[in-house]
Amino acid sequence: MDWLEKRTMESIGAFDARTRLSELLARAAAGESFVITNHGRPVARLVPEGTVDPSRASVAARRLRGFRGALGAVSVEELQSARHEEHRS
């Protein structure tokens, strides 16, 4: 979770989240996000369905950049040709 998310997400204690679950679900469906805490420590996030997890997106982007670097200067055509060669064998 980056600093902007921490600033914009409302924190809710686990007990409050349990007692207000219906309200929180309705608010999440309307686009709000929440951090659920246990004794003041963040333990989970309640986010609208379909929301991209920025930390996972960031990890995926780093992996893709690393993969691209490992390939060197391989063109799309070369990748497609290699894929087709694999299917022929």
Going along the chain from its start, the domains and CATH numbers come out as 3-88 (3.40.1620.10)
pTM for this predicted structure: 0.52
Would the pLDDT of 1 be above 50? Answer: no
Averaged over 58-62, what is the pLDDT?
A: 76
pLDDT interval class at 30 (50, 70, 90):
very high
The token pair that represents 20 in the structure block = 């207000």
Element (H, E) at 13: strand 10-13
pLDDT per residue as tens digits for the range 71-84: 666 677 777 777 66
Look over the chain and give the mean of its residue pLDDT values, rounded to a whole number: 78
> For 40, which DSSP code?
T
Q: What pLDDT score does 51 carry?
A: 76
Q: Which of 62, 69, 30 is nearest to 49 (CA)?
A: 30
Distance in angstroms (rounded) separating the CA atoms of residues 82 and 66: 20
Q: What pLDDT score does 3 carry?
A: 42
